[in-house]
Amino acid sequence: MSENRSATSLLSSVQREVDRSLLRARNGIKHAAGLDRARVGLSPKDTVWERDKVQLWRYHNPKVTKAPPIVIVMSLISRSYILDLRPGNSFIEHLLKAGCDVFMVDWGVPDEADSHNTIETYVDDYLPLAVSAACKEAGADRVTLAGYCLGGVLAVLYVAGHPEAPVRNLVLVATPVDYSKLGVIAGLVRQGRIDPEKVLDDTGNVPADAIRNVFRIRKPTADWVQYANLWENLWNDQFLEGYQAMNQWNNDHVPFAGAAMEQMVSLLIRENRLMKGTMRLGGRKVNLKSIDVPVLNVVAEKDDIVPLASAEPLADLVGSKDAENLKLAAGHVGLLAGRKAARETLPSIVEWLDAHSDRLRRARHVP
Amino acid sequence: MAPERSLFRQYFDSLERSVGRPLESGVETDTFQDSLAAVIRLQAAIQARLERASGDLLHMFNLPAHSDMKRLSEQVSRLDKQVRDLSLELEKRSDGTRTPRRRR
């Protein structure tokens, strides 16, 4: 009897492996040939304002129940679709479902014409116009400003440098402030190592490949792990779709405007001015202590791009009485994407937003 | 309950960790970062020297070199930047937030 059972279970496991091998072969060919690329950034949206390469998007939401609207400031070196990865795994989708009116500032892909963009170009020129356009479009007098990674740095500098900015709340996710704790990424451009102008290409920008390579240096075996994960789960269509989307996130960077990068290296990395409170932009002092709006600083314990020690001090640097750190056991990507994000980070952010927003008496339809 | 790891995965993970951990701590060291910086500086110096040599050769035949194109492109982008700055200044003064609604 038991011999029969073990023979049946052996047969079924062989059968399962054969089935999986067939699926692996099919998906492997599709993946290698680049067919069935993950479709990302699918939430419907309109471009409501644009200037040069910068665009302000407004996402459709049939049921907006909260005010003020949220304006998300994207990082300068990543594509904005990473926050709207795929249905069911999207920060934007989560905010829309929670009843938020969501805007996104997308910086576009810099070329020669943008190589002279400085931090001031983004913080003093584009952001005030984009936020003002969002207010006008939503009929609001203030917004909740949210920044991810370098986008968080821009958001912080904008609010600190513009006391008149129509910002009611500030949400920062994985935002580096202490650059002495940034690890190898900052280590390479410290004084006496690589001069920033040496990494600029003919367009005057840091090429996207160089950014990708710096991220790859941190974890030299990350690619192997990814391939092992892929091999193990290649038979699983759903896994493959998620893998392609995450892979795209990891490898798809945009060039970094040369002038902004040189400024970032000298002011933030080499002189660590945000921590020292000596930051200057456009000839004026920008002190984080002048930020007095409520601040939520979301930090990841296992973040190896913006380590905890680099992001955590932000809540103490701002002048707000209502400033809190939300520390989560996740990595840089896992903060906003994946199952853990859906389970922990996103509900926590929405909960904070609920407590710092007004509930509309009647739900509004966007657009 | 976590799914059981396959034999392949167990071997792979132990191999990856035994190689990955020292590599990860290696890249954090000053020695690695100084060496990498030196390699990048050397690469840039070689490239600059090659560009100079090829530029001299092209100039002998009165042909534009890469450096000339780069200079021209740089001048155009500076000009473009000035136009953009002026136009931004105008937009800020008029608080004119152009709103071209386009479905994406």
Determine which of A16, A60, A132, A206 to mutate to test the interface with B (most B C-beta atoms within 10 Å).
A132
The CA distance from A211 to A218, in Å, is: 12
Q: Who's near A285: CB < 8 A, 6+ residues apart?
A: A278, A279
Q: Which helix (H) or strand (E) holds A364?
A: strand A358-366
Closest-CA distance, A321 to chain B, in angstroms, reads 32
Tell whether B18 is within 8 A of chain A (Cβ): no
Determine which of B42, B99, B103 to mutate to test the interface with A (most A C-beta atoms within 10 Å).
B99
Q: Are residues B70 and B47 in the same domain?
A: no
Least confident of A26-40, A65-79, A302-316, B75-89: A26-40
Give the per-residue pLDDT at A338: 81
Encode pLDDT of B54-89 as tens digits. Answer: 999 999 999 999 889 888 988 998 898 889 888 888
B19 within domain boundaries = no
Query: Nearest CA to A205 among A260, A253, A256, A254?
Result: A256
Q: Are residues B43 and B57 in the same domain?
A: yes
What CATH number should be reported for the domain whose range is A45-366?
3.40.50.1820
Q: Which helix (H) or strand (E) holds A146?
A: strand A143-148
The CA distance from A304 to A306, in Å, is: 6
Closest-CA distance, A216 to chain B, in angstroms, reads 11
Give the per-residue pLDDT at A343: 86
Quick check: B44 and A184 CB within 8 A?
Answer: no
8 A C-beta contact, residue A169 and residue A145: yes
Cβ contacts (< 8 Å) between A194 and chain B: which residues? 37, 40-41
The CA distance from A111 to A86, in Å, is: 28
B39 within domain boundaries = yes
Number of domain units in chain B? 2
B3 within domain boundaries = no
Encode pLDDT of A140-196 as tens digits. Answer: 999 999 999 999 999 999 999 999 999 999 999 999 999 999 888 888 888 778 888
Quick check: A44 and B104 CB within 8 A?
Answer: yes
SS3 A84: helix
Cβ contacts (< 8 Å) between B33 and chain A: which residues? 184, 187-188, 190, 193
Encode pLDDT of A232-268 as tens digits. Answer: 888 888 788 778 777 787 788 999 999 999 999 999 9
Tell whether A228 is within 8 A of chain B (Cβ): yes
pLDDT at B1 over 80: no
Q: Are residues B70 and B89 in the same domain?
A: yes
- Determine what percent of chain B is predicted with pLDDT higher than 70: 87
pLDDT at A2 over 80: no
8 A C-beta contact, residue A71 and residue A57: no
Q: Is the ipTM of this complex over 0.85?
A: no
Enumerate helices (H) and strands (E) in chain B, giving the number of each: 3, 1
Name the residue in chain B with its Cα closest to that of A232.
B9
Cβ contacts (< 8 Å) between A225 and chain B: which residues? 16
Q: Are residues B45 and B56 in the same domain?
A: yes
Quick check: B37 and A194 CB within 8 A?
Answer: yes
Q: Which helix (H) or strand (E) holds A105?
A: strand A102-106
pLDDT band at residue A293 under the 50/70/90 scheme: very high
Query: Nearest CA to B84 among A242, A129, A22?
Result: A129
- Residue A73 β-bridge partners: A105, A147
Choose the closest CB to B99 out of A48, A188, A202. Answer: A48
Quick check: A232 and B8 CB within 8 A?
Answer: yes
8 A C-beta contact, residue A291 and residue A303: no
Quick check: A221 and B92 CB within 8 A?
Answer: no
Q: Are residues B74 and B53 in the same domain?
A: no
SS3 B61: coil
Give the per-residue pLDDT at B90: 85
Q: Are residues B51 and B69 in the same domain?
A: no
B5 within domain boundaries = no
Range of the domain at B39: 31-63
Cross-sheet strand order for the sheet of B102-103? A323-328, A295-300, A167-173, A143-148, A70-73, A102-106, A54-59, A45-51, B102-103
Q: Which of residues 77-96 of B touch A (CB under 8 A)?
A: 77-78, 80-81, 84-85, 88, 91-92, 95
B1 within domain boundaries = no
The CA distance from A111 to A323, in Å, is: 37
Quick check: A184 and B27 CB within 8 A?
Answer: yes
Quick check: A52 and B84 CB within 8 A?
Answer: yes
Tell whether B11 is within 8 A of chain A (Cβ): no
Tell whether A4 is within 8 A of chain B (Cβ): no
